[in-house]
Amino acid sequence: MRKLRYHIVDVFTDRAFGGNPLAVFTNGRGIREELMQSIAKELNLSETTFVLSPEDPGNDYRVRIFTPAVELPMAGHPTVGTAFILAREHMVDLAEVETTIKLEEGVGTIPVNIKFKEGAPDHIWMQQLLPTFGPRFEDMGVIAEMLSLPVDAIDTNLPVEVVSCGVSFLYVALKDLKSLRAVKFRLDASEKILRDLGVVGVFLFTKETELKGSSVHSRMFAPAFGVFEDPATGGASGPVGCYLVRHGVFPHAQTEFTSEQGIEMGRPSIIKIIVDHEAGEITRVRVGGQCRFMGEGYLEVE
């Protein structure tokens, strides 16, 4: 039997049992793809990552990311959490203040900045791909049915739109916190919408927030990928920042946002977003936050 050691880290939080839990296998060499998928299903977290040697020697590591159902080409909380574990395990060059590493994922090379405090990794920032804005969905009645809400709960001043910074999500703005809390996501009503639009999940947000300093209160549903609701979705947070900038949801000069997520699940998460833009064009997208190490263990496999 082979022992495969893993680490558990809560991502986008500074406290235990908050944020989004992640399993990181720092030695993914020799693990078959089918076994990686089975392990992710066994652990049943939103994502599990496997660290491998890079294909390009100019990069630091290759990272493969699996939900319980599928492999993803990129994801936010797995990237941030994996970088945290790599730093904590001294698998990257440590620094007094900060260091930047390059991780290979399915969408290409992802630069990740690790800021240190008292010799330990503190804030982790990943750079995401520049956004692409996809089709808009015009039938608000169908969206309302999917969310089990009345149509007037949807903020129709903003479009229901597909946005991607590597992975596509459908973005829906709701009018208030009460409506967002009341969502009962319907699998039967969502399947055709998600399939036809080619998106991973549905990201809901409102400008009304619970926590001081937050810009938006968010929820994300991705049932087709084995994640009914996600407590913190970094891969969807970069695009929501781009959406906020493109549609002028906040003052035009604003480039930094904070998304609170996971509160309805009892796993409060704080995700920082920075969207640099110039002359109406988005030039860089970064997503970051803190992590809390939770423990480690191993699996025995043949």
Alpha-carbon span 24 to 68, nearest angstrom: 14
Q: If you ran DSSP here, which 8-state letter would residue 131 be given?
A: P
Query: Considering 34, 42, 47, 302, which one is annotated as catalytic?
Result: 47
For residue 42, which amino acid is it? E
Alpha-carbon span 65 to 82, nearest angstrom: 10
How many alpha carbons lie under 13 Å from residue 245 in its C-beta half-sphere? 28
Alpha-carbon span 173 to 49, nearest angstrom: 31
The C-alpha torsion from 54 through 80 and 291 to 89, rounded to 10°, is 10
Residue in the structure block whose two tokens are 């001294």: 90
Known catalytic residue at 47: yes
**Could you write out the DSSP letters of every residue in 135-169?**
EE---HHHHHHHHT--GGGB-TTS--EEEESSSEE
- In order of 134, 218, 219, 223, the CA distances from 201 in angstroms are 14, 13, 10, 7
Farthest-apart Cα atoms in the chain, separation: 59
Burial class (CB in 10 A: 0-12, 13-18, 19+), 97: exposed
The answer to whether residues 23 and 6 touch, using CB atoms and an 8 Å cutoff, is: yes
The answer to whether residues 107 and 131 touch, using CB atoms and an 8 Å cutoff, is: no
The residues annotated as belonging to the active site are 47
